[in-house]
Amino acid sequence: MAVELKVPPLGESITEAVVGKWNKKKGEAVSADEPLVVLETDKVTIDVPAPAAGSVATIAFNEGDKVRVGDVLGTIEAGAGASAPAPQAAAPAPAAAPAAAATSAGTDVRMTPTARKIVEENKLDVAQLKGSGTGGRITKEDALGQLNRPAEAPAQRAPAAPSGPRPRADREERVKMTPLRRRVAERLVQAQSTAAILTTFNEVDMGAVMELRKQHQEKFLARHGVKLGFMSFFIRAAVEALKAFPQVNAEIDGDDVVFKHYYDIGVAVSGSRGLVVPVVRDADTQSMAELEKKVGDYGTRARNDKLTLAELQGGTFTITNGGIFGSMLSTPIINPPQTGILGMHNIVERPVARNGQVVIRPIMYLALSYDHRLIDGREAVQFLVRIKDCIEDPTRLLLEI
């Protein structure tokens, strides 16, 4: 019995993906729920599991091909005694509704109430819809995908070949941009074209934090099972600064300013396909150990492409640490619709003046990029000074002063 392998729902507002990698070839055996194909979207990478045990019968899309929610990626020839197919792949027949029913505004086709509303309001042809829900039910994502398809057609017809001959083409290599990299490019251009971005700098003496880590590292590790790093200090310091300067934790929505009384801090981590920013929810309520565990878990799963779409959405403020790559100074770009981003850098021993004496101290440069439409220079400078004070005197984080 052939079982269809379909593109699952990819998340809110995501209707298409790119086939990144097939883990099995045609004819190879596969176990039920074994990751069979990797799909890349502009936000996350998704493993699509085999709906049943058996062998790969057909592969409908090659690596690099674009697919949409509900498309059939291929089929599995279920073997004797194979487990029943997963509900989302079972009973594909209802999706292929009769033509007469398909043209009657979807009244005789199984679909969710939200999907039916979209179909009726936009007069969509249900015959063109493929249901990705249970039993072939048409979902909101299926309807939105069909609604957005015409608008996306011009982008799909973008020229795939160079406009003219390249003199040294024999020594060049041309590869497609990944969906994630295309999305990063779009967001960066969007940020610079819609926000008035300025950057202010300061330096922070890391000596107190480094001494505190050295003094308590062994006990901290033994009790919590995780090392005490720098990121938890900066998250806590950022939260204290955001409480003091709430406009840095706000966003512009049309003619309104939305002040957020919660602190969801995005932490930029390096994934296998580029930089991603998972969000630490309600960072103000978490202990140092909880913050370290969360950031460490995000970093590990980012490298293994295991982050979920929900973990990458939202966020009120972002922290990025270019210092782990050796960066001395940078001007980070805001992640819209946020209005601020903190850039950390590498720690270098430098001569500084202390009480009339020149001493060597571990110094880090900090950068705060902010949206000048909402945040004035005075507030931006004071915000960064507040972080500097918290890091140079970590007891402030305990006393919240």
Which residues participate in catalysis according to the annotation?
372, 376
Strands in 269-339 per DSSP E: 269-271, 274-276, 279-280, 317-321
Reduce the DSSP state of residue 346 to 3 states and report it. Answer: coil
Contact between 48 and 18 (Cβ < 8 Å):
no
List phi, psi (to 5°) of 354: -135, 115
- Residues forming a β-bridge with 342: 319, 368
In the chain, DSSP finds a helix count (H) and a strand count (E) of: 10, 19
Radius of gyration of the chain (CA): 26
Cis? peptide before 337, omega within 30° of 0: yes
**Whose CA is closest to 271, among 338, 179, 342, 334?**
179
Contact between 298 and 276 (Cβ < 8 Å):
no
Reduce the DSSP state of residue 38 to 3 states and report it. Answer: strand
List phi, psi (to 5°) of 70: 95, -15
Residues 6+ apart with CB under 8 A from 211: none
Residue type, 234: F
CA distance 57 to 2: 8
CA distance 346 to 364: 6
Q: Which residue has the tokens 């990698």?
A: 21
CA distance 198 to 321: 18
Reduce the DSSP state of residue 3 to 3 states and report it. Answer: strand
Structure tokens at 112: 């969710």
How far from each other are the two terminal CA atoms of the chain, in whole angstroms? 68
Contact between 146 and 120 (Cβ < 8 Å):
no
Helix pair 377-392, 207-224: axis angle to 10 deg: 60
